[in-house]
Amino acid sequence: MGDNARYGPGFIVSIAVMLLVVALPARGDDSACFECHGSLEKVRDAASAMELALDDARMARLVAAPMAEGTSHAGMACVDCHAGAEEVPHPAGLAAQNPCAACHDDAMAAINQSAHRDPAGGTTPRASCWSCHGSHDVRPAKDAASHLSPSHVAGQCLACHDNRDYLEGEHGHALQIGGLDFAASCVSCHGGHDIQPHGADNSRVARRTVSKTCGTCHGRVEQAYLKSVHGAALSDSNNPDVPTCVDCHAAHKTASARSVRFRLDSPQMCGHCHANKQMMAKYGISTAVLETYVADFHGTTTELFRATSPDQPLNQAVCYDCHGFHDVESTRTMGVEQVKDRLLVRCQVCHPKATKTFLRAWTSHYVPSPDRYPLIYYVRLFYVWVIPSTVGFFLAYIALDVWGRRRHRRVS
Ligand code: HEC
Ligand code: HEC
Ligand code: HEC
Ligand code: HEC
Ligand code: HEC
Ligand code: HEC
Ligand code: HEC
Ligand code: HEC
Ligand code: HEC
Ligand code: HEC
Ligand code: HEC
């Protein structure tokens, strides 16, 4: 009883304030910070006590809570990242410095080798550590709640990069909506600390390396592709014209390869290069392949579907039914008999009764001429000349007849 009389409320408060001031510099005790940063109310009081005019948004940002259990830095002192904050009013530049670099210098060094480097080689990269990892809620990237987990990471990157079409592609869809965490995120294709512009040789998405990047998940596709006429030309001689995975599938808005539309559009996709005279001249490859395809029975129907009912499944052969897609081979080096054997198997998928004779019913990509498919050439020639002449003859005949009858009537 007597003790309480000796130490009144005023005395207790002054002791508490003294303790607070003594405790401030001690690492690990953040309570002093929360006196002013613990709630919006406290921020407001501190600002008015310090005669600072802060707007509401700024005050809301100044609210801070102890770091949650399970985050990487839980238990770390505020001043470990905010050195100098013990001083009140705080010294200028508290927010400008990069506090992460001091403890994670290897990460900082790696970032400075990437597209996000600090142009001056310092500790303020173009994408700050916390723009990817967060600041007060850092977790290991593998943690599902981390800002960098497969389903969250796009949100971080898209805050600065305009690649929203990724969200409409198969991968974005699978991750964001399907919950398929092993589909490709921005990081699985581009990397994290080692992101490079795609023109750089060491980029994971450079022409020459992108198939390997895709191949980490689509391994067998990559193997087939590397052996194909396209893939081999890329890996052997860094050929700039052959397609990589993303020329056929797009980098971000990757469409389902099994969709009707993808199939219907595919002749134009192959034709984009194979009807390009300048490009194909380099390899001595015929550019008639697209027009001859479009002119024959399979292609005519395909083009008709594409124009009129693009969502209706197509049963006609497209380029890759005959040539394959990841395993496209050179028909020129294969030899006629081998081409026919391979081809027949492929025709039989849709024409089960087809034999080698059936193959002859088809003019391949050749425009019939007196040397190749002469019969068809002359039959066509016959039609080209005989039908118009026959029709013309009849018209002339009718005209003459009408004229003759009129004259006859007048005379009589
Ligand atoms: C006496 C009240 C008070 C205490 C104690 C206090 N702060 Fe602050 N702090 C403020 C105010 C007010 C601002 C806003 C200053 C401004 O905008 O000019 C601020 C700003 C900050 C900022 C933002 C700096 C910037 O430039 O954007 C950080 C970070 C910060 N405080 C951290 C801390 C930490 C860590 C502690 C504990 C070691 C702490 N503060 C203790 C009042 C306080
Ligand atoms: C691991 C490092 C780290 C620790 C530990 C840390 N902070 Fe921060 N804090 C940051 C970073 C980085 C930012 C900047 C975030 C941004 O700009 O979006 C920040 C921002 C702030 C801000 C807002 C400043 C502004 O201008 O938006 C306040 C206030 C703050 N911290 C207070 C604290 C307090 C109080 C603690 C202790 C509980 C603490 N911080 C612990 C890294 C840290
Ligand atoms: C005072 C030193 C220190 C500072 C400053 C610091 N960290 Fe850390 N960080 C650590 C320690 C220690 C760990 C725990 C390492 C472990 O568990 O292996 C850690 C863990 C991490 C992890 C998780 C690593 C893992 O494998 O679990 C990430 C990510 C991380 N820090 C990023 C940051 C970022 C971003 C900043 C700046 C906002 C930052 N750190 C500031 C010391 C620090
Ligand atoms: C462009 C986004 C980005 C930036 C900027 C970035 N990181 Fe990372 N960081 C990642 C990703 C993604 C990972 C996960 C590993 C991986 O896939 O590369 C990672 C991994 C880490 C790890 C290893 C622990 C873990 O979570 O697996 C630490 C530590 C780390 N980063 C610290 C930093 C620091 C410090 C900075 C700033 C110098 C920084 N990071 C900047 C994206 C980033
Ligand atoms: C804070 C903003 C910011 C964030 C977050 C960010 N970046 Fe960047 N990124 C940049 C800037 C700025 C450049 C440099 C652009 C330039 O040089 O024109 C860049 C460059 C790049 C480049 C090279 C392209 C080029 O034009 O040079 C790629 C690829 C890239 N970032 C991917 C990512 C990915 C993936 C993520 C998420 C893991 C990410 N970025 C997060 C700002 C950001
Ligand atoms: C399936 C792999 C893949 C995914 C997932 C992916 N990208 Fe890309 N990205 C690429 C490829 C390949 C390129 C190269 C350019 C091209 O071929 O269109 C590229 C190009 C870029 C560029 C331009 C780079 C430059 O040097 O000009 C940026 C920026 C970029 N991507 C950001 C992102 C962001 C942000 C995400 C996530 C929202 C993302 N990417 C997801 C494969 C991918
Ligand atoms: C010349 C164009 C072309 C190239 C290059 C190409 N693809 Fe394909 N890809 C296709 C076509 C056409 C299909 C559709 C096959 C079908 O109807 O099932 C396909 C199908 C796919 C599928 C669906 C699964 C399957 O096998 O049917 C995946 C996954 C795929 N490709 C990934 C890749 C990857 C990874 C690469 C690079 C290593 C690549 N593609 C290179 C044209 C291409
Ligand atoms: C991290 C693993 C991963 C990487 C890297 C990756 N993919 Fe995929 N990809 C997937 C998964 C998983 C799916 C299945 C998504 C679904 O269908 O829901 C998929 C689906 C696809 C499809 C659609 C297949 C279909 O059946 O229609 C294509 C095409 C494709 N990926 C191409 C690529 C290309 C091209 C690259 C490289 C630029 C690439 N992928 C990189 C995991 C990956
Ligand atoms: C019905 C099967 C079939 C279809 C559909 C088909 N091709 Fe062919 N293609 C062949 C055959 C057979 C050959 C070999 C012709 C020969 O040398 O006798 C060939 C040859 C080629 C050649 C080599 C030309 C040369 O100069 O040697 C290219 C390139 C080609 N096709 C591309 C395409 C493209 C692009 C499409 C779609 C627009 C397509 N093909 C559609 C069966 C087909
Ligand atoms: C980005 C351009 C591009 C696209 C898209 C493309 N190709 Fe090619 N293709 C080439 C080039 C260039 C060569 C020549 C490679 C060489 O000979 O080194 C080639 C070679 C070929 C050959 C071998 C010709 C021969 O007999 O030697 C065939 C067959 C072929 N492509 C079919 C296709 C088919 C089918 C598609 C669509 C599924 C397709 N290509 C898409 C560029 C392309
Ligand atoms: C993806 C399925 C598919 C493949 C593969 C295919 N065709 Fe066809 N083909 C069709 C369809 C569908 C028709 C139209 C049938 C009809 O209207 O009666 C057709 C029609 C034809 C016709 C017209 C005569 C007829 O029977 O109606 C010939 C000739 C023909 N195909 C040759 C070939 C040859 C040669 C191959 C192999 C190089 C081949 N086709 C591969 C689907 C295919």
pLDDT of residue 376: 66
Nearest to 203 by CA among 127, 122, 115: 115
pLDDT of residue 338: 86
Question: Which amino acid type is present at position 298?
Answer: H
Mean pLDDT across the chain: 88
For ligand 9, whether the C-beta of 325 sits within 6 Å is: no
Residue 13 pLDDT class (50, 70, 90 cuts):
very low
Closest ligand 9 atom to the C-alpha of 330? 23
Residue 4 pLDDT class (50, 70, 90 cuts):
very low
For ligand 7, whether the C-beta of 171 sits within 6 Å is: no
pLDDT of residue 387: 76
Q: Regarding predicted confidence, which is higher, 255 or 2?
A: 255
pLDDT per residue over 17-71, tens digit each?
A: 344 444 444 445 789 999 999 999 999 999 999 999 999 999 999 999 999 999 9
Question: Which amino acid type is present at position 243?
Answer: P
Q: Where are the domains of the chain?
A: 374-412
pLDDT of residue 1: 37
Q: Residues lining ligand 6, CB < 6 A?
A: 154, 157-158, 161, 163, 166, 171, 184-186, 189-190, 197-199, 205, 210, 246, 251-252
Ligand nearest to the CA of 82: 1
pLDDT of residue 360: 79
Distance between Cα 123 and ligand 9 center (Å): 56
For ligand 5, whether the C-beta of 108 sits within 6 Å is: no
SS3 state of residue 17:
helix
Distance of CA 374 to the CA centre of its chain: 48
Ligand nearest to the CA of 237: 10
pTM for the full predicted model: 0.90
Look at residue 136 and tell me whether its pLDDT is greater than 60. yes
pLDDT of residue 362: 77
Look at residue 12 and tell me whether its pLDDT is greater than 50. no
pLDDT per residue over 190-214, tens digit each?
A: 999 999 999 999 999 999 999 999 9
Residue 392 pLDDT class (50, 70, 90 cuts):
confident
pLDDT of residue 210: 97
pLDDT of residue 382: 72
pLDDT of residue 97: 83
Lowest mean pLDDT among 231-240, 247-256, 339-348, 378-387: 378-387
Tokens 């025709």 belong to which residue? 347
pLDDT of residue 163: 96
Q: Tell me the CA end-to-end span of the chain in Å, nearest whole number.
A: 151
pLDDT of residue 11: 44
Residue 247 pLDDT class (50, 70, 90 cuts):
very high
| Whole-number Å distance between alpha carbons of 105 and 88 | 29
Distance between Cα 170 and ligand 6 center (Å): 14
Lowest mean pLDDT among 3-12, 156-165, 248-257, 281-290: 3-12
Q: Supply angle C-alpha 205, 118, 75, rounded to 5.
A: 100
pLDDT of residue 311: 87
Tokens, residue 55? 């707007």
- Percentage, residues of the chain above pLDDT 70: 89
> Which residues have a Cβ under 8 Å from the Cβ of 204 and sit 6 or more positions away?
189, 190, 191, 194, 196, 210, 213
Look at residue 120 and tell me whether its pLDDT is greater than 60. yes
Q: What integer is the mean pLDDT of 272-300? A: 93
| Whole-number Å distance between alpha carbons of 356 and 61 | 76
Residue nearest to ligand 10 atom 41, measured at CA: 270
pLDDT per residue over 362-384, tens digit each?
A: 777 876 677 766 666 676 667 77
pLDDT per residue over 327-354, tens digit each?
A: 999 998 888 888 888 889 999 999 999 9
pLDDT of residue 336: 80
Closest ligand 4 atom to the C-alpha of 156? 2
For ligand 9, whether the C-beta of 285 sits within 6 Å is: yes
Rg for the chain (alpha carbons), in Å? 37
Residue nearest to ligand 2 atom 28, measured at CA: 62
pLDDT of residue 28: 52
Q: Supply angle C-alpha 158, 159, 162, rounded to 5.
A: 45
